[in-house]
Structure 1
Amino acid sequence: MFDLPPADREAEIVPVRKLSARVAGVFSATGDHFETHAAGELVLGYDGIEGDFHAGITRRAGGREPWYPRGTEMRNARQISIVSADEMVVVAGRMGIAAIEPEWVGANLVVEGVPNLSMLPAGTLLFFKGGATLKVDAQNHPCRYAGRLVAERAGMADPEAGALAFAKLAKRLRGLVAWVEKPGTVRAGEAVSVRIPEQWIYRG
């Protein structure tokens, strides 16, 4: 028989929630750079977006995975980048620039109707009306590479300073990365059903 944890260590369980959302824009990066461009539709397979810069069943470990040597082959859970236009407005305001376009940060999807999109937990499912399903892996932590492109496209006088500012000011507002659980085609204007899993804080 197992001992139950002391009452003061019992986890608070937040039940499953469901939200309704909408795809406001779709984008892909078909070249050798992460910057995306508006697309008519996204064809999603198990390896991500067909022909996209981040497509692949696996990817190489980088700075986000210090527990592996750089270049180690690992599963690609960063196939799709999702952002909120509202959060990009906040980041732009913090940086003192007019706007941040989704293409500048390599976004594939702009989703509207979900408050605090970047705070959706890992395991959240996005069911698209057209049949595709994405599973959220994690927040997309802001980096200087995207920040430098934002600074350059926004015409900032010091792109390097802008890159550092983005990495700091976009924290927890940069959106999400996800992977394809069920293939399908996603189009702008499409309805999305969001299923937020049961949540808790593990305290040991």
Structure 2
Amino acid sequence: MQDPFASKREEFDVHSAQKIKGTVAGLFKAQGKDFITAAVDELPLTFEGIPGDFHAGATRKSGGREPWYPRGTLIRNERQLSLLAPDELRTIARRLDVPEVRPEWIGGNLLLDGIDCFTMLPPRTLLFFEGGVTIKIDGDNGPCRLSGRSISQQFEGRQDIENNFSRVAQQLRGLVAWVEKPGTIKMGEGFEARIPPQWIYRA
């Protein structure tokens, strides 16, 4: 008997799982009532994220990124951590014509080096850190005017950055993630990204 699902699955272009190693190049925490972060030497993590951080919590209130809910609806917090890459920040800075864009200015928690096209890592990718922490990627972090405004405040007379950031930082703004296995991440620590098999779903 013919299996109707077998022929349908053959239409999908499936990419095998991969493993890529990287290094922790920076750690940051938002300790006040603002998303702006400050550098730290190590980052203790619980199942709720970074204790005391602006984005900590098992749940969060929905906002403009979730138009399918009334604003302020309590939902699962899949945005506990903001992950960035040094080469992508340099590209954003070059496109904005500024000397640099620091992770702190746009609320970064982890600056991770060694993975090309970091923001393109797919959802469900797991990051295994040498110290025992595991982080699970939810997806890319869409650039917004709030981060653009924060950058513009660092450069006098560059109010244009507030609007331009959302355009030039597409697919370079990093990833959001949540803690799957808690512990402490330290500066210079190695990690391994385990990328799951990937395919594009077509109905």
Q: TM-score range by the shorter chain?
A: over 0.9
Partner of 1:188: 187
For 1:9 and 1:29, how far apart are their aligned partners in 2? 47
Partner of 2:74: 73
> What 5-or-longer segments of structure 1 have no aligned partner?
none
Does the residue aligned with 1:24 lie in a helix, a strand or coil? strand
**1:61-84 deviation per Cα after TM superposition (whole angstroms, max 9, x unaligned):** 000001111000000000000000
**1:144-193 deviation per Cα after TM superposition (whole angstroms, max 9, x unaligned):** 0011001111x14142x211100111000000000000001001100001
Partner of 1:48: 49
Partner of 1:86: 87
For 1:49 and 1:86, how far apart are their aligned partners in 2? 25
Summarize the alignment of residues 82-161 of structure 1 with structure 2, pairs less than 5 Å apart: 82-153=83-154, 155-159=155-159, 161=160
Q: 1:9 to 1:90 in 2, by over 3 A?
A: same
Partner of 1:166: 165
1:139 is matched by which residue type in structure 2? D
When the two structures are superposed, what TM-score results if normalisation uses the length of structure 1? 0.96
Does the residue aligned with 1:130 lie in a helix, a strand or coil? coil
> What 5-or-longer segments of structure 2 have no aligned partner?
none
Q: CA deviation at 1:197?
A: 0.5
Q: CA deviation at 1:40?
A: 1.8
Structure 1 segments, 4+ long, off by >4 Å, are 5-9
Summarize the alignment of residues 19-38 of structure 1 with structure 2, pairs less than 5 Å apart: 19-38=20-39
**1:99-144 deviation per Cα after TM superposition (whole angstroms, max 9, x unaligned):** 0001001000000000000000000000011110000001000000
Q: 1:182 to 1:9 in 2, by over 3 A?
A: same
When the two structures are superposed, what TM-score results if normalisation uses the length of structure 2? 0.96
For 1:31 and 1:7, how far apart are their aligned partners in 2? 52
CA RMSD of aligned residues (A): 1.4
**1:31-67 deviation per Cα after TM superposition (whole angstroms, max 9, x unaligned):** 0000000012111000000110000000000000011
For 2:182 and 2:144, how far apart are their aligned partners in 1? 29
Q: CA deviation at 1:10?
A: 1.3
